């Protein structure tokens, strides 16, 4: 099946990549609704950890909330901070950290914290004192998984210590939770054994006077098949993305639709004689004259090396198997000696929903001996994510005049500034640009590029300590007003700053503006910058995980194709010939 999304040819430094991950946000919404219907007595926490299982955390979070989820779960704290920076105000739970984690910042951001052990409670209490507000904690009991949390007897001591801290105003014990080891094995007695331990933990919490908001135990499999584990809140992860948690039941059987499609454009097609060895070690040899196709994806992109000689790929409606070893950046297909001609640029589909016979993530998991969780989450960040579905799935505003959401990979600061310069070519007096993203994600760097493109007086630097700064035009064009909205209740407060510029005659760029500027104007260009944890600490180092997500909202941007910046990957379709094969 053609993806129905067009990708324009790239130019030098544009972030071009000859492959893409296409994520169907409508499928995400449908899956969340299906899960909510399966657990009608419980609220739904959409688990968006690991960058939304590789699908893109922020777009997935919006789609899940639109479909009825009321909580978000991230595992790692950096994901929780990113959700808050993107303006999400729903409860967010994080549960994986080590001693020394930034608990005070998490408490200040109103992030719920799992507390699995006494050391964690001690550090969270200390951080709550520093933050000047109580921490919202969920006490994790190990009911039999043998992983996170405390076993029942030491957990009971942890419970009493937490309730004592609650009496002192240091924490608020809002939840008790655990995780199931074998919910995907329907009818396994271990599931009910864990439920019995969980029930005992709840009895002890009730006897100790805990005033819980939520009790939660169910993962995807339990949400679908163990109603007695639903309690107040269910935590589906894999099923949100349309993948079945059960080994012997496919997604369609349980009413789910896979949301991810991975495809690439053949970089080379050539004739090969019989007896030709293929790829490193010649573990595959042609048996007749044939055509070989080079797919520009490899284990550097997350393609399992174990898929050598077994991975399924569809080209021109026919399935083929990887020929020879998967390399870091490419692998080879034996396309056969005859049939319809296939040329460079032909689309190769590694996996998708299976609608037209293309392989699925489950097919890949089966042949390499793993689970489909791993297949989708390991797909590398250097492959652009293209999110399709209804237009308001990116920001959830419900405004009809919106452009298609566009993603732009930003491997370094130079690429971020280059994007800003290109965006400046679309901007005019009175335009509003809203920037969101983590600290250090590149908001000021992008603004610096916009300033360069507008030819304004520099230098453009963060306005954090002065709230707003005016950069006059040097060429008679619009001025640049650079605003830090972190401490503002509304952008209306900027008027009180007595700036030497009118917003109507300027391009206004607002950092941390989501949730602040919406009432000011229905017309705005929204740019969300995603900077994964640990990147960008060295200004000269590559930052392969950084992406910008662009969307225009309101009549001003209606019909404007943001892919015209020359850097975006947005609608996928025909493409210029990819580069010749280079090892």
Looking only at the bridges linking them, the beta strands covering 277-278 and 312-315 are unpaired
Angle at CA of residue 536, ends 95 and 106, nearest 5°: 30
Separation between Cα atoms, residue 511 and residue 14, nearest integer Å: 24
CA atoms within 13 A on the CB side of 154: 12
**Catalytic pick from 140, 231, 241, 280?**
280
Q: Which helix (H) or strand (E) holds 121?
A: helix 118-131
Of 280, 337, 268, the C-alpha closest to 309 is 280
Q: What is the DSSP letter of 383?
A: S
Map residue 234 onto helix, strand or coil: strand
Separation between Cα atoms, residue 15 and residue 416, nearest integer Å: 10
Whether 49 is a known active-site residue: answer: yes
CA 323 to each of CA 183, 320, 335, 362: distance values in angstroms, whole numbers, following the listed order: 37, 9, 9, 20
Of 415, 486, 545, 550, the C-alpha closest to 59 is 550
Looking only at the bridges linking them, the beta strands covering 277-278 and 284-285 are antiparallel
Separation between Cα atoms, residue 41 and residue 206, nearest integer Å: 20
Q: What is the DSSP string of 515-564?
A: TTSTTT-S-EEEEEEE--TT-SSSTTS--TT-EEEEEEESGGGTT--GGG
Count, in order, helices (H) and strands (E) of the chain: 13, 26
Separation between Cα atoms, residue 298 and residue 313, nearest integer Å: 13
Looking only at the bridges linking them, the beta strands covering 312-315 and 506-511 are unpaired
Whether 270 is a known active-site residue: answer: no
Residue for token pair 């030497």: 500
CA 554 to each of CA 399, 434, 450, 485: distance values in angstroms, whole numbers, following the listed order: 7, 13, 21, 21
Q: Which helix (H) or strand (E) holds 417?
A: helix 413-424
Separation between Cα atoms, residue 134 and residue 175, nearest integer Å: 14
Count the neighbouring beta carbons within 10 Å of the beta carbon of residue 227: 15
Query: Helices marked H in 315-396 — which ranges?
Result: 361-368, 372-377
With a CB cutoff of 8 Å and minimum separation 6, the contacts of 34 are 239, 255, 256
> What are the strands of the beta sheet with 268-272, ordered from one edge?
268-272, 290-295, 331-336
Structure tokens at 55: 């699908």
Separation between Cα atoms, residue 271 and residue 185, nearest integer Å: 48
> Is the CB of residue 240 less than 8 Å from the CB of residue 221?
no
Count the neighbouring beta carbons within 10 Å of the beta carbon of residue 280: 11
Of 416, 549, 482, the C-alpha closest to 86 is 549
**Catalytic pick from 16, 17, 49, 299?**
49
Catalytic residues: 49, 280
């Amino acid at each position: 099946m053609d993806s129905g999304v067009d990708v324009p040819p790239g130019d030098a430094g544009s972030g071009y990549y000859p492959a893409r991950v296409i994520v169907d946000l409508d499928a995400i919404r449908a899956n969340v609704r299906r899960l909510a219907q399966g657990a009608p007595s419980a609220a739904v926490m959409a688990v968006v950890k690991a960058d939304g299982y590789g699908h893109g955390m922020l777009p997935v979070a919006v789609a899940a909330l639109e479909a009825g989820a009321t909580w978000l779960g991230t595992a790692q704290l950096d994901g929780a901070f990113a959700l808050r920076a993107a303006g999400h105000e729903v409860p967010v739970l994080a549960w994986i950290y080590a001693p020394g984690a930034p608990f005070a910042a998490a408490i200040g951001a109103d992030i719920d914290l799992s507390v699995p052990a006494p050391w964690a409670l001690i550090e969270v209490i200390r951080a709550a004192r520093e933050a000047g507000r109580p921490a919202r904690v969920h006490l994790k009991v190990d009911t039999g998984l043998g992983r996170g949390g405390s076993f029942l007897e030491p957990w009971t001591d942890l419970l009493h210590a937490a309730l004592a801290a609650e009496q002192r105003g240091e924490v608020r014990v809002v939840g008790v939770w655990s995780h199931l080891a074998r919910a995907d094995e329907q009818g396994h007695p271990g599931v009910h054994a864990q439920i019995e331990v969980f029930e005992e933990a709840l009895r002890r919490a009730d006897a100790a006077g805990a005033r819980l908001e939520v009790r939660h135990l169910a993962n995807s499999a339990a949400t679908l098949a163990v109603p007695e584990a639903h309690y107040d809140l269910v935590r589906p992860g894999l099923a949100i993305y349309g993948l079945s948690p059960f080994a012997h039941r496919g997604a369609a059987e349980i009413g789910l639709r896979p949301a991810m499609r991975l495809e690439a454009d053949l970089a080379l097609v050539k004739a090969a004689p019989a007896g030709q060895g293929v790829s490193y070690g010649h573990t595959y040899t042609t048996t007749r004259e044939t055509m070989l196709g080079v797919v520009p994806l490899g284990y550097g992109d997350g393609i399992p090396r174990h898929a050598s000689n077994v991975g399924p790929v569809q080209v021109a409606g026919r399935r083929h198997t990887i020929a020879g070893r998967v390399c870091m950046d490419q692998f080879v297909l034996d396309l056969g000696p005859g049939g319809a001609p296939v040329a460079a640029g032909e689309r190769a589909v590694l996996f998708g929903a299976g609608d037209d016979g293309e392989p699925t993530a489950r097919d890949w998991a089966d042949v390499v001996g793993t689970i489909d969780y791993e297949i989708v989450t390991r797909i590398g960040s250097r492959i652009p994510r293209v999110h399709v579905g209804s237009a308001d799935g990116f920001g959830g505003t419900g405004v009809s005049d919106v452009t298609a959401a566009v993603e732009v990979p930003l491997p370094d600061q130079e690429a971020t500034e280059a994007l800003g310069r290109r965006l400046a070519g679309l901007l005019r007096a009175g335009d509003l640009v809203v920037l969101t993203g983590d600290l250090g994600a590149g908001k000021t760097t992008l603004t610096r590029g916009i300033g360069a493109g507008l030819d304004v007086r520099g230098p453009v630097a963060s306005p954090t300590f002065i709230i707003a700064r005016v950069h006059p035009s040097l060429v008679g064009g619009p001025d640049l007003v650079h605003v830090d909205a972190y401490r503002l209740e509304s952008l209306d407060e900027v008027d009180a700053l007595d700036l030497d510029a009118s917003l109507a005659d300027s391009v206004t760029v607002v950092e941390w503006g989501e949730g602040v500027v919406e009432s000011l104007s229905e017309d705005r260009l929204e740019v969300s910058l995603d900077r994964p944890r640990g990147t960008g600490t060295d200004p000269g180092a590559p930052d392969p995980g950084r992406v910008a997500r662009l969307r225009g909202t309101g009549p001003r941007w209606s019909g404007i194709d943001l892919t015209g910046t020359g850097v975006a990957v947005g609608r996928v379709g025909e493409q210029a010939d990819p580069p010749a094969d280079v090892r």
